[in-house]
Amino acid sequence: MVAMPVAGCCVVDADCDDGDPCTTDTCVGGDCHHTDLTGVPGARCVCERAAVAACRTDTVPTKIAKKAAAACTTLDHAAKATKPKARTKLLKKAVRAWKALAKLVGKPAAARRLSAQCVAGLKTAYGDAAGRADRALLAP
């Protein structure tokens, strides 16, 4: 008799990988649990996420891509900061950058070059990134 896997059951943590770098995936008693990362790692993980699926057929303007990369670089620096004041300053800069990106993709010049679905997806992604960086400010 061959045992067939049952959806939702797991044996090891790797069975629970949801593909989201912003969660810690664990198997507890045969059930998968996905816990959001917190602090600077919880803010930085958005830079490791796959591209927004709705933008697969769109070409994201270079200006937007460069600004997103700069926000990720700021988060890299925040992750390496040893002084809380410097980390706070960098996280605030990242929050501002992500919020500005969310506004930028909604502006007519960017919106004309992107599908409505891509614009909505980027706004959601950048809003999530800003929220994560903002919450990282509250983490010890």
| pLDDT tens digits, 54-108 | 999 999 999 999 999 999 999 999 999 999 999 999 999 999 999 999 999 989 9
pLDDT-above-90 percentage for the chain: 78
Look at residue 105 in the predicted model and tell me its pLDDT: 94
- pLDDT at position 6, please? 55
> If you ran DSSP here, which 8-state letter would residue 8 be given?
T
Query: In which element (H, E) is residue 133 found?
Result: helix 116-136
Please say if the pLDDT value at position 5 is more than 60.
no
Structure tokens belonging to residue 111: 């919106």
Question: What is the DSSP-derived secondary structure letter of residue 12?
Answer: S
Average of pLDDT values for 105-123? 91
Asked if residues 104 and 18 have their Cβ atoms less than 8 Å apart, the reply is no
Q: Which residue has the tokens 């670089």?
A: 73
Confidence of residue 9 (pLDDT cuts 50, 70, 90): confident
Mean of the per-residue pLDDT values for the chain?
Answer: 90
- Beta-bridged to residue 25, according to DSSP, are 34
Nearest to 71 by CA among 44, 53, 104, 35: 44
Q: For the chain, give every domain's residue range.
A: 7-36, 39-136
Tell me: pLDDT of 3 over 70.
Answer: no
Contact 22, 45 (CB under 8 A): yes
pTM, entire model: 0.85
The total number of residues written for the chain in this structure: 140
